[in-house]
Chains A and B, each alone.
Chain A
Amino acid sequence: KNEVEQSPQNLTAQEGEFITINCSYSVGISALHWLQQHPGGGIVSLFMLSSGKKKHGRLIATINIQEKHSSLHITASHPRDSAVYICAVTGGGGADGLTFGKGTHLIIQP
């Protein structure tokens, strides 16, 4: 079973700061997902990647397959970025479906 670890668990930053959230996993994967969960609970997919780097607006996700590590970056952070960010993986010997990290609770203060 794949083990997915995220760091930090909690992060408070000031508006405008550059944010990095890290994710590591224990077994080779087919894909890694970054998800966002807002207060109120809905979960949306931000990125799915299996190699390299993806960018969407102020969000950047990178993955290093050899090191089994991914990072999610937020540039010019804003209070509306406050949410729980969840890393999840597919593949790696488990059942179908996603294996999730515990999430990073991000608060951006004005």
Chain B
Amino acid sequence: NAGVTQTPKFQVLKTGQSMTLQCAQDMNHNSMYWYRQDPGMGLRLIYYSASEGTTDKGEVPNGYNVSRLNKREFSLRLESAAPSQTSVYFCASSADRGYTEAFFGQGTRLTVV
């Protein structure tokens, strides 16, 4: 029972490089989320997808794009990485928006130099 799987676990990028963080869930959940976690701050919502085919901005969307490829997969893309995007990124899913239990991936530790 894999739950929510994120890749990669660690990544170092140079400023200006691009990359895509992958996330997949095997629980048939409708809603998927990308959060970032920074020291001294709570997790913050970057983007979410309430259902297949829809995506919406969260609290801190600037510098990111997302794709809900199908019901299982929700990717996060950094087109031109900046040092301010150094963070730990978490993908999460829930059966139905925010009103059901949330399941989290193991996180991706991204450093932009």
Contacts and interface: CB of A to CB of B under 8 A. Distances in A.
Interface of A: 1, 4, 30-31, 33, 35, 41-45, 48, 86, 88, 90-91, 95-103
Contacts of A1: 59
Interface stretch (B16-24, B50-58, B63-71, B73-81): B50-58
Contacts of A88: 42-43, 102
B44 A31 contact: no
Contacts of A96: 31, 33, 48, 50, 56, 97-98
B43 A98 contact: yes
Interface of B: 31, 33, 35, 40-45, 48, 50, 56-59, 88, 90, 92, 97-104, 106-107, 109
23 contacts: A1-B59, A30-B98, A30-B99, A31-B99, A35-B102, A41-B106, A41-B107, A42-B106, A42-B107, A45-B101, A45-B102, A88-B42, A91-B99, A95-B57, A97-B48, A97-B58, A97-B98, A98-B102, A99-B42, A100-B43, A100-B44, A102-B40, A102-B41
- 9 tightest A-B contacts by CB? A90-B98, A100-B42, A43-B104, A97-B45, A100-B43, A41-B107, A102-B42, A97-B48, A97-B33
B98 A98 contact: yes
B99 A90 contact: yes
Contacts of A43: 90, 92, 104, 107
A17 B36 CA distance: 33
